[in-house]
Amino acid sequence: MKTIKKIGIITGGGDCSGLNAVINGITKTAINTYGLDVIGYRRGYFGLYHNDFQVLDLKAVSGIMHEGGTILKASNKDNLFNYPVKQDKGETVYKDMSDVAVANMKKEGVDALIVVGGDGTLTSARDFHRKNIPVIGVPKTIDNDLPATDVTFGYNTSLETITDALDKIHTTAYSHDRVMVVEVMGRNTGWLALEGGIAGSADVILIPEIPYDINKIVDKIKERDRMGKSFAIIVVSEGAKPVGGEAHVREIIEDSADTVRLGGIGDIITRQLSTLIDNHEVRYSNLAYIQRGGIASQFDRMIGLRFGVEAVHLLMNGGTGQMVRCRGREIEHVPLIDVVGDGLTGETSHGGKKYVDPKGQMVRSAKSIGISFGD
């Protein structure tokens, strides 16, 4: 393999807290330990395609560890292996434009990439590895849905935000004897709703892995009434679905690696409950993008930093086509294909997801303390 002298960082997909800690860890290790040059592509793969980057030196990454977002900016579009290209007649066709990215890297003398992202971004990382580009992935997403790692960075800060929001919603729910429906993100997995909901003392948690029956939610509210508790908190994952139904799609974004955007199920449930319950007002809050922003938690700073440091060590020890991951308290690594699938059997991008086990210990613990899942 060619000697690595210069590396490029990409932060792709939706942003989250902890990204800057990763950039900090990569850049400082690359410069201090290996004497490498480091650049960061702006707006993920968009920057790689347009050769838009900034030089990262020790000064550029100083003081950024706690900051939310990413100094490099992010984009959850721009799949360069299926990229929208305008034709002469105005129509758009999707083409593999990854050679443009490889040519840009060659022009700038970039020998390897460290790609920080969720399943869509890491699927492209796998494909760049197949084009003989040395690549290491770093697992990022507030959804915590990537397989092969105990945890992704960004998830913990979002949980803190959800828990804090639920604490606040609790007091107003109590004062007004209201049923409060709180929608959280998570795509097709229920980790944010589950862990945030338990810590925030939710009475009902609805997750995609356990389809709900609206009448069971009403039963729980009535049960609380009988106990003398005249309010309730219902945490709904954006991907939650009724028994026999589908998740509520908010939008389709064609040029995104993951085209489907969920959202709005909390509003639907609120309207339904309003017609089924006459002794409480029902109100709805969607926590939406506040779950993605803000100062990174101590956990996300640490795990992000350690992922970044280990990604560079792995690359410089000959690793490629791998993703750093967390197992217990250690940072290890795993082939990218074990995370996103090999993509060779028909699927266009993603491999498996890490789902909540409906019969697992965490759900059982929640049920033990009386939380309803609407099942």
| Residue numbers at the binding site for ligand F6P (CB under 6 A) | 14, 76, 118, 141-143, 185-187, 238, 261-262, 292
Shorter beta-carbon distance to ligand F6P: residue 28 or 77? 77
**Residues 144/191, Cβ–Cβ less than 8 Å:** yes
E strand intervals along the chain? 6-11, 37-41, 53-55, 83-86, 92-95, 112-117, 135-139, 179-184, 204-206, 232-237, 249-252, 260-262, 282-286, 322-327, 330-335
As measured in angstroms, the least distance from the Cβ of 65 to ligand F6P is 22
If the CB atoms of residues 111 and 143 are measured against ligand F6P, the closer one turns out to be 143
Cα separation values, 85 from 52, 91, 95, 355, 366, Å? 18, 8, 7, 35, 49
Q: How far is the CB of 175 from ligand F6P (least distance, A)?
A: 30
For ligand F6P, the nearest residue by Cβ is 185
Min. distance of Cβ 185 from ligand F6P in angstroms?
Answer: 3
CB of 252 to ligand F6P, least distance (A): 11
Which positions ≥6 away from 288 have C-beta within 8 Å?
183, 185, 263
The residue (of 216 and 261) whose beta carbon lies closer to ligand F6P is 261
Closest CA to 214 of 196, 234, 228: 234
Given the DSSP bridges, would you call strands 232-237 and 204-206 parallel, antiparallel or unpaired? Answer: parallel
What distance in Å separates the CA atoms of residue 139 and residue 153, rounded to the nearest whole number? 7
CB 188 within 8 A of CB 238: no
Q: Which one of 15, 119, 143, 258 is the catalytic residue?
A: 143
Closest-CA residue to 200 (of 187, 189, 222, 184): 184
Residue type, 296: A
45 alpha carbon, distance to own chain's centre: 17
Handedness of CA 73, 77, 83, 86 (dihedral sign): negative
Nearer to ligand F6P, 8 or 120 (CB): 120
The rounded distance, in Å, linking the Cα atoms of 320 and 306 is: 18
**Does the active-site annotation cover 255?**
no
Q: Which one, 143 or 203, has the nearer CB to ligand F6P?
A: 143
Which residue reads 């809050």 in tokens? Answer: 285
- Tell me the closest approach of the beta carbon of residue 69 to ligand F6P, in angstroms: 12
Nearest approach, Cβ of 76 to ligand F6P (angstroms)? 5
Catalytic residue list = 143
